[in-house]
Structure 1
Amino acid sequence: MNDSRFNSLIPPQPEVLIDIARLLKAENPDLTHIATLIKSDVALYSVVLKSINSPYYGLRVSVTSIEHAISLLGLDQIYNLVRLTILRNTLKKTGRMERFWDTAKDVSQLSLSVARKLRLHLNKDDIYTLGMLHDCGLPLMIQAFSGFREFLQSSPGFNVTELAKQERDSFGFSHYQVGARMAERWNLPQHVADAIRLQPQLDDVLADKVDTDEKTRHLLAVLALAQDISSEYRYYWRIQSAQQLEQLQPALRFLSTTDYDYLTLKERLIEEMA
């Protein structure tokens, strides 16, 4: 792997995020200073407030200030939201990729629904973040390599393991590696970064053949089901083949979910999204 080329793909964190992270390390973080930093970027401020008032957070009151949001959600959750918002805005600068972000949003929402329906005790922010950023290396690869978009268009039938291999052979590294490195550089939880990196090794991860933690395994299993539902819900009347269902067996076994229960859940979620 060409480390210098690899590292050059990762955009640096903006100063506002670095400053907030520094303030959070203090024994008694200065809430007023943190709120002022967020409000100093008008676009960021408006997007954060809009997100806080979305159904995702389920707040019963309308939040009109960052100070109010911090009092309701806490500093850690506000920092996670700010970081994800800035990261998404940074990646969007790589070009027009509306379908990419539509898919990411679908997968993140479906991941939350799958975890909730299966009554999994996972961190909600981790689930949503992985759903949004599981393929975040793609826009960075498209920006870095002029032929990468055409490469993707010529390889729609690859599974993730084969895709990662073809990417490494053609470009020196895979978009999963790039996405994981970005997650680490931007100080996302290590288990989220590991989940991004280990997607091509899903079966081995869930079979405990790869050294990682249970959070990563659960996140990957949920992601696999969410991606399957996302890839098919627009084609609701297409019959799923046994081979496709067979590919999900490692995730279903890991989550102690039967084929029947999963297909019932899948049908219900597709109906909700229609």
Structure 2
Amino acid sequence: MTPIERLFERLPELPTIPAIVQELIASLGRDDVDLASLIAKVREDQSLSARVLRLANSPYYAGRKSVGSIEDAVAMIGLNALRAIVIASGVAGAISKVEGISLPDFWKHSQLTARLASSLGKLAGLNKEFAYAAGLLHRIGQLLIQIVVPEIGNKVLAECRNLSVGELAALERLHLTFDHSQVSAELARKWFFPEEIVGALAFYTRPEQEGATPYAGIVNLAASIAFGIEKGQPDEVILSHINHRVVTQLGLEEVDWPEELAKMREAAGAGETLYA
């Protein structure tokens, strides 16, 4: 049994997601979704419905127009955005409490990373939905580590203030022999996310390593930029911290970064609350 398998064996229970979320995960990248069936199933789950409507009414999605029903949400934001909201809501609801971690702050960062990954994915000519889902899940393994081995999780949290994504993962490997990205990938595999997303999660902390996919690079950039925006760093500091080899690999050298960062800061300011 591998160390990661032992970690999952020690979980009190495997986090679960609603059946409708599993269905939508299986449909990622496809447009042939039965909308009537989707709406009916979301409505059946009151907790999920409440989350979806709250997110659909956030400034990022709805602006000034109020969304009063799941049908309104579909009409307002479209299938792909609704699918993203339902998946995000289901994933965020899978873990209700983690000692030592503020879940509202955790999901705020994850949601911002997801939105930035979607934007970067579009610029790189990749599937935006895959990029969004990978960004959303990129740190969920940290929650499982904190649940199973809180003494190590707390030690890492105390030591990793202001560290980069790669340095945080290296610190975890020092204490555990594996890092949160590998745990995130294993949970995504158990939840039957597409292999493109599983691979992105497994390698996002080491996007230049052999076997890493372009989606790993997208998530690495998105997480780094999200961290800088949340810290209030100026553009030049954010850009000095991103992995420029990954920028080149993804063909993003010619991007107007000041313009894109302005859009990303706007997205951060219109962020919604996944966890409440």
* Percentage identity across paired residues of the two chains: 23
Deviation at 1:82, TM superposition (A): 2.5
**Structure 2 Cα separation of the partners of residues 136 and 255 of structure 1:** 25
Partner of 1:187: 192
**Structure 2 Cα separation of the partners of residues 150 and 269 of structure 1:** 35
Partner of 1:150: 155
Rg comparison, structure with higher value: 1
Query: Is residue 163 of structure 2 the alignment partner of residue 167 of structure 1?
Result: no
Deviation at 1:62, TM superposition (A): 5.9
Partner of 1:268: 262
Q: Is the 8 A contact 1:137 1:178 kept in 2?
A: yes
Partner of 2:208: 203
Matches within 5 A, 1:88-127: 88-95=92-99, 96-115=102-121, 119-127=123-131
Partner of 1:258: 253
**Using a 3 Å threshold, how does the CA distance of structure 1 residues 252 and 265 change in structure 2: closer, same or farther?**
farther
Between the two proteins, the alignment pairs up a number of residues equal to 256
1:156-195 alpha-carbon deviations (Å, 9 max, x no partner): 3655445434423423432111111111111222211211
Query: Which structure ranks higher in relative contact order (CA pairs < 8 Å, sequence separation ≥ 6)?
Result: 2
* SS of structure 1 residue aligned to 2:146: helix
Moved more, 56-65 or 195-204: 56-65
Deviation at 1:54, TM superposition (A): 4.6
Q: Is the 8 A contact 1:181 1:193 kept in 2?
A: yes
Residue identity matched to 2:126: L
**Using a 3 Å threshold, how does the CA distance of structure 1 residues 8 and 82 change in structure 2: closer, same or farther?**
farther
Moved more, 225-234 or 130-139: 225-234
Identify the match of residue 11 of structure 1 among 9, 14, 26. Answer: 14
TM-score calculated relative to the size of structure 1: 0.72
**Structure 2 Cα separation of the partners of residues 58 and 133 of structure 1:** 24
Q: Is the 8 A contact 1:53 1:59 kept in 2?
A: yes
Residue identity matched to 1:152: L
Q: Is the 8 A contact 1:31 1:67 kept in 2?
A: no
* SS of structure 1 residue aligned to 2:139: coil
Q: Name structure 2 gaps, 5 residues minimum.
A: 270-276
Q: Name structure 1 gaps, 5 residues minimum.
A: none
Q: Is the 8 A contact 1:39 1:45 kept in 2?
A: yes
**Structure 2 Cα separation of the partners of residues 188 and 229 of structure 1:** 25
Matches within 5 A, 1:129-140: 129-140=133-144
Partner of 2:237: 240
**Using a 3 Å threshold, how does the CA distance of structure 1 residues 55 and 123 change in structure 2: closer, same or farther?**
farther
1:8-31 alpha-carbon deviations (Å, 9 max, x no partner): 44724245448857998xxx9886
Residue identity matched to 2:7: R
**Structure 2 Cα separation of the partners of residues 23 and 129 of structure 1:** 12
Q: Is the 8 A contact 2:224 2:241 kept in 1?
A: no
**Using a 3 Å threshold, how does the CA distance of structure 1 residues 21 and 229 change in structure 2: closer, same or farther?**
closer
Residue identity matched to 1:131: G
Matches within 5 A, 1:49-128: 49-54=53-58, 63-67=67-71, 73-74=78-79, 78=82, 80-95=84-99, 96-115=102-121, 119-128=123-132
**Using a 3 Å threshold, how does the CA distance of structure 1 residues 42 and 166 change in structure 2: closer, same or farther?**
same
Q: Is the 8 A contact 2:21 2:87 kept in 1?
A: no
**Structure 2 Cα separation of the partners of residues 265 and 104 of structure 1:** 22
1:187-223 alpha-carbon deviations (Å, 9 max, x no partner): 222211211110232122xxxx32x5xxx41x23333
* SS of structure 1 residue aligned to 2:192: coil
Residue identity matched to 1:38: V
